[in-house]
Structure formats: structure tokens, C-alpha cells
Structure 1
């Protein structure tokens, strides 16, 4: 028989063996992201939606969609309600801060997760999970978005973003990186608290250039945000507007134009700018000497090489450089709000059902007499600016958009619909909506917001 001392020893050996099984796999595994041995770079395609880069990443074997956000230090997951399953490792409860009018939010912290992006792998990724169903960027972007990721990827690679071809190359920092030709201009980039900053200068009407330190924020769809202080004053011509959604709630502020913003020799005249309400930042203890941020509407005008390991950023103008800045002159904000059936007559029916693009919906029913019922996204007015052309014409929040200028909108992505609504000053826009089971047609003329 085995005595008590031997039993205790066996139990301890067994416990050590189990502990070894749990711990040993993490030894010898590189911390952070890495490429396959001998691979110089990995090329990834992204979708550019409302100036944001959306990339596919596997999290513990489940493929999710992330916004590539250089302004976030640790990956954050949300909008997981429609996922069949996702495994999370080593979970604990925490509180995190985020932009918005609300208080710090409750979340989960999870460590030791497996992330995979093409051939790029990380066997021990920390992440946060926000469980609040109200924090969901998918309706306003029109595609599923499950999270945001930034610093951890930028830290481990030299990241070459080509906004023209919608591709990102992640280079091994130990290999020969991307070729920086004569058309690039290279700047020092400062990394503070896992975020990247770039020096620039702005010019307000009738004043000398003001030096500013700007957060590089690929996760912002806006152009320029500025913080008002004794040097930086809000221009006289401005209007109140909804600026976006943060983790802690909606963000409001003033929209305006500034005379110029300069990054080295690159100069943007009459640049779109926003001055956020500083109550938005009440959960952030120290903004340091930061004066604002550069978002996707500026950054997409360059092909960019981020070199976090060496504190450098290289910019090259691309085909977007001279495009006019986008303004919401109609005053309408849109979002997806479920689905609806659309009935259409089709010219002929040969019994073949073609797979439809996801912007049309993915369910179709063909009825006798060549009628097609398609299940498509329902687009509603999610917000409307007081005093805007759309507001003055009588449009209301909650109206279901059916057509813009005679075009049935279920054939278009949400960003294409926004472009129809905000094409150019002086254009007449006709919007057909459904309200209380009735179809109503509204008409208005787009006006310059700063006249």
C-alpha cells in the first residue's frame, strides 16, 4: 500500500505536471507578433471605409474584423453578440477609459490569446472586451466591426500602408524594409505611452503659423482635431456637430475650416478641422503637450511608412492628396438598422439565381411572374443637424431612406449614399423616405456651411 507521505508526494508531482502543461507552451514562444522564419514581410489587403482601414484577424481561431487604429494601445473587442462562439483566455474584470461624454466603462481583460493576421502570429496577446451592446461601430460603417487594434502591430514591424492600393505590408524590422524613395519625406515620430505623435504647424485666419504636436490616429475618420487654448482659437465661422462615437459615448464639438495645416513641405489649405468639447476628454488624466490629432481624412492622402522601432515616419503624396475635404453639408447622419424586404421586377427569369453582393443583402426569393424579393439592409436617419438643409426640409431622425435622387439606395454602400447626399454646394437633393408606413419625398439644396 502507498502510505500518506507517498500519496502527498505523488499529488505534488501530479500538480507540478499539470502546472507544467499549462505553463511550458509559453516558454520559447516569441512575445509579440512575428513572421514565419525567413519571411521578410506579409502583405495584407484592407477595406477603406469612411477613411478607416478594416483588416481581418483570427482571434483564437475565430475570424473577426478590426479597425487598424494607431491611437489604441491594447486591442479592444466589442459587438460580439452575433458571433457563434469565441474563446477567451485568462479573463478578469476591469474598468477602462475612453473618449465620449460618459463615465469609464466596465470591461473584461483577457491574456494569452492567439492572434493571426495572414502569416503574422502572436501567441500571447492581451485584449480588452467591452460588453456594452451600445458600443457598436458596425451600423455607422455598414460592415461588421468587432474590434480595434493598433500599437502592438505597429511596435513589432515596419508598417508600409498604401492607401492607393488598399494594402499594408508588415516588414520584419531585422530585414531590409520598404524602399524609401526621393518622393518620400521622412520625419521624426515620438512614441509616448504607446501612441505616436508628429510635429506639424497650423495657420488660423490672419495669424502666424502655430507649432502643434498631433496624435497620429488612423482610427479617426476625421481630418484634423484641435484643442482650443491660449494659442489655438476656434475660428469665428463654425457650427455645432456630432463628431463621432467613443468607447465612453458620443463626441460633440464644433466643425470649422483652418487656413492651413503643414507637415514639413506638405501643405493643406482650407483644411477641415474640428474642435471637440473638452468634456469628452474628462476621463483622460494627462493630455501632455498634445494639441490635437491627425485622422484618416488627412492620412489617406499619403502612402505611409510607420517605423516605430526607429521613431520615424515617411510620407509620400498619393492620388487622394488634392481631393476636396468631405463635409456633411446635408446635415444627415445614417446607419444600418436591421433589414427589410425589397420587391423588384426582373426582365427575365431563366431559373438561375446568382449570388448577390453583400451590399444587396444575401437572401433572395424569386416568385412566379419574375418578381424578386431581396432582404437588404435598412438605412435610417440616425441623426440630423439643427438648421441644416435636410432639417429645414422636414426630414427627421428615424426616417427610413428609400431613394436619393431617384436611385434606390439598397444598391449602394452606406458611404456611397452619404456621398450622394453631400455631393456639392448648390446641388438639389431629393430624398424618398418611409415614415409611419407612408412614403414621403423631401427636397433641399446643399449650401456652403461657412458662408
Structure 2
């Protein structure tokens, strides 16, 4: 979501798992002024070391017509903490509790709209399609109760952190006493990035996941390595978290003031869960020029240059267009995955997938092309050491 910070227009992730706003990936071009600064040390999820940051007070935040002239924030100075390449768009920070605390926050995933309502005047809609659930607020974080059905009559009640900043579905903490055992069918996987490093764990699926009266069958799940949670001193009765791949299936209204959350199914509800069958992680890595013909053999222009991709275009003799486009490279690859067995490597530059040149697609769309469905044959054209290579593999069923 766009937020004006002391006059600078920045892009934030709305992260209900975060406390104070955190800025990172601030370049010279962003030119953000921050006020009343002191140095602190913070830690997030991941196995890395604590990181140095600046604590700043009396900052002005503006979101649409909403304004806060006394916002406290943290600024991370480590340049390696940068979510932009892996998300394929500029990301300057995260914002969470302070926004949820002051407003009723309505998220419409289908229309890609976030609405902030004044709690004093907001009235919850009441109809049979909407389900309201209690929302527990503990240490500035929100929790909901759900259920995990592991099969063979094994239904486990769970308390989950609501994590709008996570793109995953459900994370579960292994707990044999409670009955949260890792299913036999699983594989080691990269689960995400925290402020203190990468997070790995076991990827699997459960028979079903329930939240309120809504049931999601064959739900995607993961059991993260608990070393990544070393900074959390006391888990209390928390059993994991629920993230964006579940939340996007609903229109959600968070009301911290009344300690409730409402869910209404949307068009995403019946979508299948997305798995990284290929075993490739991608990210943006710089830019490159690509040449496109805009005229036929007779020299007649067949494509309007206004439909070109990229921010910089050069027309050559009105027949060829050079466009500056982002490079998409393999940032990591899962050992033993179909892509790894086919011969793909970290650092390979992706050029095309199944004959489609990928420079006109967003990063998330490219990932979907790579992992469309199990059993599908995928052909990937890459550039390695200035040579074009074609690799073919089949997306294997992992469970």
C-alpha cells in the first residue's frame, strides 16, 4: 500500500504480524527525512544475527486523507534486507499494529483495495454470508482460532497468528503432545524471508483447515524450523500462523477495537493452493535490453510502440524496438527438485517458459507459469554465460 512518509511516497506491506512500522531498502533516490533518531538493535524471524536500526519519532504518515503527525518508526540500515527483488515491485517497509489499532481495516483481495474506517462510526454488516470470529489481541498481535484435520479422526484445535504480511497459507508448530505431527508426506522447502534471515521447514498439506464455519480441503501447510523463532521468548498457546494464501480467499474486516474479524468468501475461495512443484525461486536482478520487431517483412509497422513493455524504449529505423526490462533470475533451487535434476542452476537468467517470452509478465505470473499443475511438462529457456540453453522437466507430484 502507498504511504507518504515525511513527504516521500513509499510502498509498504500491510503486515498484521508487525508492531512498529519498519523502513528498509531506502536509496538515495528516495530521500526520506526522519526525525529524532536514536540507535537500537532489532531481531526478526530467521537464523541470522540481530540487526542495527534507527528509532525515529515525530514522523508524518499520510495514507489517502488519513494523517498521523507523530508516528514512531524503525529504519533498518542493512542494504541486504530488500524484499523488492523477490516480490517484483518496489517495497520500502512494513506497517502493522499502529494502523490496525486506530482503524477498522477492510481488505478486498479481489479488487485490491484497502479501506480504513473510523471505529466510532463503522457498523458491521449482518447477513448469512458473513462470519464473525473473536480476535484475540496479545502483545500487539492478532490471533484467531481454527482447526486442523489430519485424517483418521484427528481434529486439532489451533490458535494462529493472523499474518497478512505472509504470502504462505498455514504454518504449524510441531507439537506431539497436542497432536500436531508433521505428516509423513512432506519435503524440505524454503518458506520465506524474515528480518533476520531465510526460513526453511517441511512443506506438506493437511486433510482440511477450518476457520469459523469455513473449511478448506487439502490445505497447503508448512512446519517451519523452530530455530527461526529463537527471538520469541514465549509462544504461549500459539500453534502457528495463517497467511495470505488463506486470507486472499475472503474479504476480511479487522476490528481490533471490538476484538473481532469478519470473513466473507470471494472468487478466490475455490482456487487450488499453489505449490512450488518446479523447485525454483526467482527474483529480479537488474535490467537488460531486449529487441522486438515492430514491422513485417514489407516494413509495415504491425505493433504500436505504446503497447511496449519497459520504461525505456529505443526505436531503430522504425522497425525494431529496444526495451529496457527487468531481468528475472533463479535465486535458489531446491535440491532434488525437477528443475535441479534437469540441470538448472542458481543465477540462470530466465528468457522464456513454454515458448512465452517472460519479459512481459510479472514475477508472480512467471512463478505460476513454472508451477501450473503437477504432471505438466515445462520447457525453460535460460541464458548462462552468454549462451542460450533449453531445459525440460515434468512437475512431479510431491505428496
User: 2:330 aligned with 1:381, yes or no?
Assistant: yes
Does residue 1:394 correspond to 2:343, yes or no? yes
Query: Shift of the alpha carbon at 1:82?
Result: 4.9
1:415 aligns to what SS in structure 2?
helix
Deviation for aligned residue 1:369:
5.5
Question: What 5-or-longer segments of structure 2 have no aligned partner?
Answer: none
Q: Deviations over 1:110-141 (max 9, x none)?
A: 11100000001111000001111111000011
Residues 158 and 306 of structure 1 are in contact (CA less than 8 Å); yes or no, is this contact kept in structure 2?
Answer: yes
1:341 maps onto 2:289 in alignment: yes
Q: Provide the residue aligned with 2:228 in structure 1.
A: 280
Indicate whether 1:239 and 2:191 are aligned.
no
* Residue segments in structure 1 that go unaligned for 5+ positions in a row: 1-54
Range that drifts further, 79-88 or 61-70: 79-88
* Distance across 1 between alignment mates of 2:303 and 2:259: 60
Confirm or deny: 8 A CA contact 1:180 1:314 kept in the other structure. no
Match of 1:354 in 2: 306
Q: Please show how residues 146-165 of structure 1 align to structure 2 within 5 Å.
A: 146-165=92-111
Q: Is 1:417 aligned to 2:366, yes or no?
A: yes
Q: Deviations over 1:152-211 (max 9, x none)?
A: 111111112111211122111111335243211111110000000001111113242111
1:97 Cα shift?
1.4
1: CA distance between counterparts of 2:81 and 2:67? 28
Within 5 Å, which residues of 2 pair with 1:356-371? Answer: 356=308, 360-368=309-317, 370-371=319-320
> Could you tell me whether the CA contact under 8 Å between 2:104 and 2:122 is conserved in 1?
no
Q: Give the length in aligned residue pairs.
A: 393
Structure 1 equivalent of residue 240 of structure 2: 292
- Mapping of 1:6-17 within 5 angstroms? none
SS in structure 1 of the partner of residue 257 of structure 2: helix
Match of 1:302 in 2: 250
Output the TM-score relative to the length of structure 1.
Answer: 0.85
User: After superposition, what is the alpha-carbon deviation per residue over 1:350-373, rounded to whole angstroms, capped at 9, x for unaligned?
Assistant: 9985275xxx32011111251111
Pairs within 5 Å for 1:176-187: 176-187=122-133
- Per the alignment, do residues 351 and 165 of structure 1 end up closer, same or farther by CA in structure 2, a change over 3 Å counting? closer
Partner in structure 2 of residue 447 of structure 1: 396
Q: TM-score, normalization: structure 2?
A: 0.96
**CA offset at residue 229 of structure 1?**
1.2
Larger Rg: 1
